[in-house]
Homo-oligomer: A and B are copies of this chain.
Amino acid sequence: MSSDRLFYLPLGGAGEIGMNCYVYGYGPRDQERLIVVDLGVTFPDMDTTPGVDLILPDITWLEERRDRIDGVFITHAHEDHVGAVGHLWSRLQAPIFARAFTANIARRKLDEHGVPENEVVLCNAWPEQITAGPFQVGFVPVAHSIPETSALVIDTPGGRLLHTGDFKLDRSPVVGEPWDPDVFKAIGQSGVKALICDSTNVFSPEAGRSEAAIGLAIEELVQGHAGMVVATTFASNIARVKTLAEAGIRAGRSVCLLGRAMRRMVEAGVQSAVLTDFPKTVTAEDAADIPAENLMLIVTGSQGERRAASAQLSRGKYLGLQMGEGDLFLFSSKTIPGNERGVISIMNAFSEMGVDVVDDTGGKYHVSGHANRPDLQMVHKLVSPQMVIPMHGEHRHLREHVKLAEGGGFAGVLAPNGTVVELQGNAPRIAEYVETSRTYYDGNAYVGAFDGVIRDRIRMALNGHVTVTVIIDEEGDVLGDPWCELMGLPERGSSNAALVDVLEEDLGQFLGRADDKTIRDSDKLDEALRRIARKTTQTELGKKAEVTVVVSRLA
């Protein structure tokens, strides 16, 4: 027994917001049985991952140990916790455990990849527990911004762990279960070795507010507006969607949900019985015949996504619906850092249409789904664990959360992705670091973050591209002139001659002078031609273009 170890290993989510993937291990060293908590995704951006569709955790470490995995536990149905199950299940082939609503969403994702739905095992809420190898796992209902979110009690022979998942201290979350401090206290009273705890809002100084607090403000806003009212929020925030819909109905309007993701979420809520009294809605087709002043649309695209309903409406008619002068658009959501440009561009497009835009700047129409700084302190105290391990946050959030825990008298440990933290002693011990990375889902291919593919795309975006072709004849002599094609480069540079001509001239001069040995050596010739093309673009344009060289040798 003394040789058994209990460890925590984040593969995603610790050092970033999104892409949650955590591993717990218990057993003799290198034979530990494993469970995985969450398999989430994160989203690409043009700066670092142009063209990529989704970013998944690199699960190489897990795949190499897949015979030791006793289960994958999904805390809730947000994309950054469940989004990768469809993509990665076949490489792990371990059973997935989730509560009904989360399972509904997970099964839809698995189905898209041809995985049968019985790979997802439906779980009841705490105090029931599921046995998975040496682990006993219970789903403890917490409030968040999506139904049936759960913290996990993970009982092991090495002690009890409490993995909070995402949560907030909301006693009236509109949809989903309220925060119940007594349950957390009781869990803590049996002795918690480690509290592994959400960190995203550690810099928010005030206690969090309840979802119920904004219903009235939204209702007043809708009531007070004569024209069409359109509101957007995160599709998965069913509570908010319901708050918005009810405000619309009370204001005497017909309500229409626009956007596949939103309709799918509401459908999953009804199917899994977490959503029982959602107001009646009309289809987009019917909505098109309803006068603007009697209509409220609730739409996807709160983050400015180009293809979502918000962006479509900002560009003009969408599914027969069109906004205009005197209408109102409400962002009942926070803009996630990095998405500002897309959101602002939609705001300005609406402004050009004469649509009034209201955002959550004043905090009246949105509340966060995460525990703020004082909320975290309260949870530390309630659970009173031996140690606090901050998870789900950028490095700065994790670091601040460690300080916060230590300030409250708890041992804390800063454990970014790849850190193996042993928990069997009285204090956390960093045992080792494993390599972690990301996998890019690009079109329908999977690309490693270090494969160089995306690096080359970024380089082409910054520097443009030149194709250089040269033909060598049967005697090993250069046939004709080199030929160049440009993409993403100006036609003329500083000499004011056509850039293609300058390139072909410079390359031709080099080939005219080159000795037989250089011409015969393919690698050397390629490299020399590339170097000249880069040098010429540097001289002409002030930047070195990316170059593809094709030397054809006639046999």
CB of A99 within 8 Å of the partner chain: no
Given A352-B395, A461-B46, A541-B444: A490 and B550 interface contact (C-beta under 8 Å): no
List of B residues within 8 angstroms of A338 by Cβ: 340-341
Number of copies of this chain that the complex holds: 2
Whether B442 pairs with A541 at a CB distance below 8 angstroms is yes
Whether A445 pairs with B552 at a CB distance below 8 angstroms is no
Return A271 CB to nearest CB of chain B, in Å. Answer: 30
Q: Which residue of B lies closest to A539 (CB)?
A: B444
Return A538 CB to nearest CB of chain B, in Å. Answer: 8
Whether A51 pairs with B444 at a CB distance below 8 angstroms is no
Given A51-B462, A453-B489, A460-B457: A361 and B444 interface contact (C-beta under 8 Å): no
CB of A357 within 8 Å of the partner chain: yes
Q: In the complex the two chains form, what is the Cα distance from A407 to B172 in whole Å?
A: 40
Seen from chain A, the residues whose Cβ lies within 8 Å of a Cβ on chain B are 15, 45-47, 50-51, 203, 337-338, 340-341, 344, 347-348, 350-352, 354, 357, 361, 394-396, 399, 442-447, 451, 453-454, 456-458, 460-465, 467, 469, 471, 479-480, 483, 485, 487-490, 492-494, 540-543, 546, 548, 550, 552, 554-555
Whether A50 pairs with B462 at a CB distance below 8 angstroms is yes
Whether A493 pairs with B445 at a CB distance below 8 angstroms is yes
List of B residues within 8 angstroms of A340 by Cβ: 337-338, 340
Q: In the complex the two chains form, what is the Cα distance from A354 to B494 in whole Å?
A: 47
Whether A461 pairs with B457 at a CB distance below 8 angstroms is yes
Q: In the complex the two chains form, what is the Cα distance from A493 to B337 in whole Å?
A: 33
Whether B396 pairs with A488 at a CB distance below 8 angstroms is no
Q: Which residue of B lies closest to A440 (CB)?
A: B490
Q: Which residue of B lies closest to A349 (CB)?
A: B395
Q: In the complex the two chains form, what is the Cα distance from A447 to B354 in whole Å?
A: 33
Whether B396 pairs with A357 at a CB distance below 8 angstroms is yes
Whether B456 pairs with A488 at a CB distance below 8 angstroms is yes
Given A45-B341, A340-B338, A552-B552: A453 and B464 interface contact (C-beta under 8 Å): yes
Whether B51 pairs with A543 at a CB distance below 8 angstroms is yes
Return A155 CB to nearest CB of chain B, in Å. Answer: 33
Whether A445 pairs with B50 at a CB distance below 8 angstroms is no
List of B residues within 8 angstroms of A350 by Cβ: 396
Whether A469 pairs with B396 at a CB distance below 8 angstroms is no
Q: 13 A–B contact pairs at CB < 8 A? A: A51-B464, A338-B341, A350-B396, A443-B542, A457-B460, A460-B461, A460-B487, A465-B487, A467-B548, A469-B552, A485-B548, A550-B550, A552-B552
